[in-house]
Amino acid sequence: MELAPDIEDKIQQSFAAQRMMATLGARLDRIEAGRVAIRAPILDCAQQQHGFGHAGLTFSIGDSAAGYAALSVMPPDAEVMTVEMKINLLAPADGEQLRAVGEVVKAGRRLVVVKAEVFATKSDRTTGIALLQGTMIPL
């Protein structure tokens, strides 16, 4: 599926309006039809008690990547909202940078099933740190 330019603009604008993403230093990395990637450094302000990235950081960019993946396959005037999301944490968010890749599993008229994977990069080594699976609802 081709991604329409107006959909890409809509995602860019929605992302820019999410102050949480700015707080976390997150940036849109790649937008394709049904697949969106978000990158974020592990800022001091998003750390947990041991200096790793907080699970809330991992969840935030994983959920957002999945949500924008859903938005990328919706009609131009639609919005999406997370209904529910499950996250399995595979390893500590240890490193310089995280990357979340969200994908559409099934786009229905009433619900969109999504998944996301989050990776941490530490001096050139990349590790999968989280797996998300959830449901978005078009508004």
Among 6, 77, 84, 124, binds a second copy (CB under 8 A): 84
Question: How many CA within 13 A on the CB side of residue 54?
Answer: 11
Write the interaction track for a second copy spanning residues 28-67; mark x where CB under 8 A is met and - where it is not: ----------------xxxxxx----xxxx-xx--xx---
Among 9, 89, 96, 126, binds a second copy (CB under 8 A): 89
What does the DSSP assignment read for 75-122? -TT--EEEEEEEEEE-S-B-SSEEEEEEEEEEE-SS-EEEEEEEEEEE
Among 86, 96, 122, 126, binds a second copy (CB under 8 A): 86
Q: Is 137 in the site for a second copy (CB under 8 A)?
A: yes
- Integer Cα distance of 69 and 111 in angstroms: 13
Query: Which lies closer to a second copy via its Cβ, residue 60 or residue 72?
Result: 60
